[in-house]
């Protein structure tokens, strides 16, 4: 898949482009998860273009890509149906001084796709809508505290969440103190938290599922706890929306939150997100209630016609073509292949595939079966050399069986090197430089 061969991947133009990026953009990327610190030394490709499940870097190397657009491009790059919908609206104008009829159509389509919601408001990114959900919950309940599931990695770029991470510089402690955490899957601990902060918690916010399925009765139990303690239940469906079901995990598991947030796959790479929920709550941000006005969401570009058209095309494609089922089938094939390859090379306990088939991640474990950034570096380096760009194993609908077979072959080669490093007790000779780093960390 690359122009240099498995031992000789060279990225001189990407290195030059990365230097230019760092000279003008703090961190060299607009998303921390896309930073070159997430990739091995000198092997951080800068993308030229993509089509389907493949991307090309500025050096001309082609890769099978996983985790496309941080899980946002679930139909594949430049999907014809989405591109056509976007192009059609661009030719008609993208933003006006009054709502477009496209906003009506997009809202109707969304609420038909996610029937557990009664109203919806669109924005451009996930952080805006999760923060709007928190603000609305505080306004409705008159309470200040926010309870987040501490086992989930990210909710928002805003202070109420970022202050709880290792990158909390610049966030006042008074803000962070208002956010408390509960563990996933533990109803007793959550009830203890709500009792400790009785009548103080505005909302419980969590991803309904991640790398593990919710324990039986867990989500229904949260629903009951939220009702009993008078707080708002918010499902962050940025990832589970579409990948679990086009109607979200709330539909799959049969538990209806008060509010939910969608994004990522909603626009197949176009910037669109959604806050959805109960009419009586959402109307607090509107004009048809008798109370004080709530600043819910107001974004200049939140209803750009081409992004809403993309969202409608995505929803139609998912429903008509059974995309979620295909994502699961592709993920199952990939997971089985990777596990077999790891077992065949004697590293099944060290290269571990986890998660729902439509949302696979992998863990790289050391000799003591602990997470290891050096071993992750070794593994990523071998994948890149084989033409596989895979910060995760999250699949897209554009993958072919041949793409997956190639990926499994490259994984097997990477696992052979992994075995050598384990036997040597040191991955350093195979990392090619400094280890990759976690996104959330205190120091540079």
Q: How many CB atoms lie within 10 A of CB 329?
A: 14
Least confident span in 82-86, 324-328, 438-442 = 438-442
Pairing mode of beta strands 145-149, 179-182? parallel
Residues 6 or more apart from 94 whose CB is under 8 A from it? 304, 305, 306
Average the pLDDT over 388-397 and give the result.
98
Taking 70 as the threshold, does the pLDDT of residue 4 lie above it?
no
Enclosing H/E stretch for 274: strand 273-277
pLDDT at 3: 39
Cα torsion 298, 259, 278, 191 to 10°: value is: -140
Confidence of residue 156 (pLDDT cuts 50, 70, 90): very high
Taking 60 as the threshold, does the pLDDT of residue 69 lie above it?
yes
Q: For the residues of 109-129, what is the DSSP string, one character each? A: HHHHHSTT-SEEEEESSHHHH
Q: Is 191 exposed, middle or buried (0-12, 13-18, 19+ CB in 10 A)?
A: middle
Average the pLDDT over 70-85 and give the result.
97
pLDDT at 205: 98
Cα torsion 289, 299, 30, 263 to 10°: value is: 50
Taking 90 as the threshold, does the pLDDT of residue 442 lie above it?
no
Confidence of residue 1 (pLDDT cuts 50, 70, 90): very low
d(CA 290, CA 273): 28
Instruction: Let me know: does 131 contact 159? Beta carbons within 8 Å.
Output: no
pLDDT at 443: 81
Instruction: Let me know: does 311 contact 266? Beta carbons within 8 Å.
Output: yes
SS3 labels along 162-220: HCCCCCCCCCCHHHHCCEEEECCCCHHHHHHHHHHCCCCEEEEEECCCCCCCCCCCHHH
Computed over every residue of the chain, the mean pLDDT equals 95
Q: Which residue has the tokens 């197949």?
A: 268
Taking 90 as the threshold, does the pLDDT of residue 377 lie above it?
yes
pLDDT at 233: 98
Q: Is 283 exposed, middle or buried (0-12, 13-18, 19+ CB in 10 A)?
A: middle
Taking 60 as the threshold, does the pLDDT of residue 5 lie above it?
no
Taking 60 as the threshold, does the pLDDT of residue 14 lie above it?
yes
More confident residue, 6 or 51: 51
pLDDT at 6: 42
CA proximity to 212, closest of 361, 109, 317? 361
Q: What is the pLDDT of residues 278-322, one digit of tens each?
A: 999 999 999 988 888 899 999 999 999 999 999 999 999 999 999
Inter-helix orientation angle 305-321/323-344, to 10°: 70
d(CA 35, CA 305): 30
C-alpha 368 chain-centroid distance: 29
Average the pLDDT over 183-195 and give the result.
98
Q: What is the pLDDT of residues 116-139, one digit of tens each?
A: 999 999 999 999 999 999 999 999
pLDDT at 7: 55
């Amino acid at each position: 898949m690359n122009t240099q061969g498995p031992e000789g991947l060279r990225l001189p133009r990407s290195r030059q482009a990365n230097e230019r990026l760092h000279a003008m953009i703090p961190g060299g990327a607009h998303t921390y998860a896309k930073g070159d610190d997430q990739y091995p030394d000198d092997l951080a490709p800068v993308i030229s273009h993509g089509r389907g499940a493949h991307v090309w870097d500025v050096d001309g190397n082609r890769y099978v890509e996983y985790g496309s657009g941080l899980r946002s491009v679930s139909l594949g790059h430049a999907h014809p149906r989405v591109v056509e919908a976007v192009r059609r609206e661009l030719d008609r104008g993208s933003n006006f001084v009054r709502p477009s009829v496209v906003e009506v159509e997009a809202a109707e389509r969304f609420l038909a796709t996610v029937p557990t919601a009664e109203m919806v408001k669109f924005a451009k990114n996930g952080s805006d809508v999760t923060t709007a959900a928190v603000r609305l919950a505080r306004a409705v309940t008159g309470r200040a505290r926010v309870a987040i599931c501490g086992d989930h990695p990210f909710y928002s770029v805003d202070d109420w969440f970022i202050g709880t991470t290792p990158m909390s510089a610049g966030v006042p402690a008074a803000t962070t103190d208002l956010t408390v955490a509960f563990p996933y899957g533990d109803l007793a601990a959550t009830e203890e938290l709500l009792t400790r902060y009785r009548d103080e918690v505005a909302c419980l916010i969590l991803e309904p599922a991640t790398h593990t399925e919710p324990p039986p009765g867990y989500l229904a139990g949260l629903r009951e706890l939220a009702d009993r303690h008078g707080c708002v239940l918010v499902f962050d469906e940025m990832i589970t929306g579409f990948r679990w079901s086009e109607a979200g995990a709330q539909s799959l598991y049969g538990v209806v939150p008060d509010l939910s947030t969608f994004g990522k796959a909603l626009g197949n790479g176009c910037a669109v997100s959604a806050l959805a929920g109960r009419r009586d709550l959402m109307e607090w941000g509107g004009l048809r209630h008798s109370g004080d006005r709530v600043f819910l969401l107001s974004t200049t570009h939140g209803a750009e016609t081409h992004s809403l058209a993309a969202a409608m095309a995505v929803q139609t494609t998912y429903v008509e073509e059974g995309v979620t089922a295909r994502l699961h089938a592709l993920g199952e094939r990939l997971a089985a292949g990777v596990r077999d390859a790891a077992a065949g090379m004697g590293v099944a306990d060290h290269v571990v595939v986890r998660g729902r088939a439509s949302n696979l991640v992998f863990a790289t474990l050391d000799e003591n079966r602990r997470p290891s950034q050096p071993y992750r570096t070794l593994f990523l380096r071998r994948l890149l050399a084989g033409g596989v760009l895979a910060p995760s194993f999250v699949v897209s609908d554009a993958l072919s069986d041949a793409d997956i077979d190639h990926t499994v072959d490259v994984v097997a080669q990477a696992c052979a090197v992994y075995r050598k490093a384990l036997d040597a007790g040191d991955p350093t000779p195979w990392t090619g430089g400094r280890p990759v780093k976690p996104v959330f960390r205190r120091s540079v």
